[in-house]
Structure 1
Amino acid sequence: MQTTMAENKNTKQPEKAVKNQDFDLQASADRASDFYSKNKNVINIALLAFVLGFGGYFAYKRFVKAPAEEKAQVAIFQAQNFFAADSLSKALNGDGNNYGFLQVIDKYGSTKAGNLARYYAGVCHVRLGEFQKGIDQLKQFSSTDIVISSIANGLIGDAYMELNNAADAVSFYKKAGASDNEITSPMYLMRAGLALEKANKPDEAIAVYQQIKQKYPRTNEGREMEKYLARLGVVK
């Protein structure tokens, strides 16, 4: 009899636990419903904003950004032809019928072609002797290609040298050299060294020349470094 009572007692406890759990779940549901009722306007607006934002992003990419990219590619084509023919003024400003790089930047500046137009425009300005304009355009250009990025920074350095601003020139030459490739790095580091010599900073120039000698010994610049170092009093 005692066993039966114990069994009955044990079998009733889970039922009580289930009832308590049901009660708690129901209470939670009631609280959630009450919260929604009081705040449904805010919640609905937030959900609508999320849906519109999510859908709007893809709609923007498909119906706005993609067509703009295509139009920009067409617009920049003739400007690139002018550039290749060394018609720098037309490349920058167009010929009245076709866009130049400046018009491409103005109309399609947020596209990939617009970004590339900034690079071309910067080169044109520098080659035309409009150094500050070239600097302004090139500073807004960006590229994940280390060589192109290095050339852009090196060209900014060249423009600063033309403006007799050796300090900023050195900064951008070193930035160009930091890309760490044998195509452009030793060339721009060497220009940094020459700019430092011109600024009467021989110790800093020596450090740059030694860097070239150690990191890029097989390049033309690397093979020339003994001569430049000897000129500054550093001999083997």
Structure 2
Amino acid sequence: MKKNVIRIVILVVLSSLISFSFVSALSISITQPTTSYVVYSESGIMCSANVQNANGSPSISYDGTYLGSMTSGGYNSYYFNWHPTSSQRGLGTQGRKWLKVSSGSSSALKSIYVSEYTASFYNDIATNWTIVGAADTDYNCFAYALGITNENLWPWKNWLGEYPPTVSELDTEMNSRGYTRTYSASQADVVAYYDIDYPNSRIGHFARGYGSAFRSKWGKIEVMQTSIDPYKSNGPYGSVAAYYKKN
């Protein structure tokens, strides 16, 4: 929803005046000798490595140092988020340092993603989070919650533009798309969150259910995996409003 995007943009601008370091998502240099990639990143910037068609439980090492096991993302894919320290930065062609997948991987890294923001930016929004999708302006949170990644979808509009729907209006829209309200979080295919300007009446954000995990598109930035109700009171998103399951 545009309102949420605006809030995040404002937060970015304010935060940049305080303490955040920024680096373009394109400021990463990748070569491919088998399963290793050279990584250039700023200290503290988030790196997200992803593997597809993996066997077992792949692990990640950097410059020969074990970092940890990758987390299953389903469908034989794995991901690993990493905050490089200043001593772990790749500094030009001299002394290149390598991020490598091993221990069970049957393919090289699908991608290495460098977030635009430091971890503290995300910590201001939610109590827990993991990057599972790159920043993208082609779709928004409602579209993503419905499995759509090629359009920005927000059906609630009037002569003034987009507006946050009531729960009743959302029920009508979700029913038309083959979803029914449920009161069990474990059954939720879609979770709706209150708009922070209307904390008990209107909807401003959506997530897609993955069992005990939930994923949502945060404005124009990344797709994030969180717990069901992770958002901080001073952030851009509200608390859980309703659950929906696919008929």
In the superposition, the TM-score normalised over structure 2's length comes to 0.24
Q: Which has the higher contact order (CA 8 A, sep 6+)?
A: 2
Greater gyration radius = 1
Q: Tell me the TM-score normalized by structure 1.
A: 0.25
Larger helix proportion, structure 1 or 2? 1
